[in-house]
Homo-oligomer: A and B are copies of this chain.
Amino acid sequence: MPRPAEPPAGFVLFANRGPFSSHIGPFWRKPAVEGVLHGFFVEAHHCNNMGTLHGGMIAAFLDGALAHAAHRLVPAPAVTVRMCVDYLGAGALGDWIEGRAKALARDDDHILVRGQALRGADVLMAAQALFKLV
């Protein structure tokens, strides 16, 4: 299945990321008023044996969006210290998936972030994660 020629209006390729993010990409992003907005097309290498979007892939994608939202609040190096995800729906080959994330709170050295992955209006995954400034 060929990838659609273009992501939705306003999204630009998210280049120059780290090796793992590049390896599981490509990803796009779009400037957002609040938090961050990422996106990707489900390609063959994102799927499981049942031919649907692999849960671990949605989680890894969303982890990147959550980390980006933490960094937007506090522009300093940080690492994920915990993450909890709920899966509510499945994605399929060719789908355009969006990830939205926004920092909710922070203390001296932690940032709490929430986000969700969506296909259109359907929430596929919701995540709550904590990042630690390092």
User: Which residues of A are in contact with B by a Cβ distance under 8 Å?
Assistant: 17-24, 44-50, 54-57, 59-60, 63-64, 77, 79-90, 104-105, 107, 110, 112, 114, 116, 122-123, 126, 128, 130
A89 pairs with B107, CB closer than 8 A: yes
Also in contact, A59 and B83, with CB within 8 A (given A44-B19, A123-B112):
yes
Copy total for this chain: 4
Complex CA gap A89/B55 in Å reads 23
Partner of A19, one of B47, B59, B116: B47
Query: Which of chain B's residues has its CB closest to A89's CB?
Result: B107
Complex CA gap A87/B47 in Å reads 25
Complex CA gap A128/B123 in Å reads 14
Also in contact, A48 and B20, with CB within 8 A (given A89-B107, A126-B105):
yes
